[in-house]
Amino acid sequence: MNIEINNLSKSFDGLPVLHDFSMKLEGGNIYCLMSASGSGKTTLLRILLGLERADSGRIEMPEQTRMAAVFQEDRLCEGFTPLENVLLAAGRQMTPAMARAELCKLLPEESLARPVYTQSGGMKRRTAICRALLADSDVILMDEPFTGLDEQTKQHVIGYIKEKTAGKLVLITTHQEEDVSLLGGVRITLEGQAGLPEQS
């Protein structure tokens, strides 16, 4: 499952955000998109998701590609529990017992029956990540997914991401160089540079 981005450009009110960006993303890889704030990372993800329209260029991917996403805002159903949020997005093969077992890898079990609005920002974040990872998808897009997580929790979450995304195409925006190494990902920028993390 590959995605090919060709000469993509996007402006807002005459201000260029993306300019002639091209990149081939191949299934089975985690890509870490690193560029300065305001450089178009979120815009690129929104275009891939069909939430924004590019001014020019094209994106080639198989028809019926299934995508899941983690946005900068968690976008959870606040009155629902973490379990209910995950089941809303999961495929039919996901039973409540299966979803509960997966959530317990990221959240305390006692939190699963409490509405999301009663939970901390970090717990909401982990719920949003789990929801995306358990959705029936080919591609997973994550926009700054580790915001609000302490270092120990982040490393645990990264381990879970790697476990659940084997064989899928994953694109994660981040501003932390260490995330590329922790994820074992391919570092890319909006200037079109790509490479594996440097080895120390």
Task: Give per-residue burial for 140-159: e unless 16+ CB within 10 Å, then b.
Answer: bbbbbbbebbeeebbeebbe
Residues 52 and 25 in one domain: yes
pLDDT tens, position by position, 6-43: 999 999 988 888 989 999 999 999 999 987 676 789 99
Tell whether 88 is covered by a domain. yes
pLDDT of residue 135: 92
pLDDT of 200 higher than 60: no
Tell whether 199 is covered by a domain. no
Considering the entire predicted model, what is its pTM?
A: 0.90
Q: Residue 51 sits in a domain of what CATH number? A: 3.40.50.300
- The domain in which residue 51 lies consists of 1-66+137-190
Burial class (CB in 10 A: 0-12, 13-18, 19+), 174: buried
Residues 47 and 8 in one domain: yes
Tell whether 58 is covered by a domain. yes
Tell whether 16 is covered by a domain. yes
pLDDT tens, position by position, 35-74: 767 678 999 999 999 999 999 999 999 988 999 999 998 8
Tell whether 200 is covered by a domain. no
31 and 188 in contact (C-beta within 8 Å)? yes
Residues 25 and 116 in one domain: no
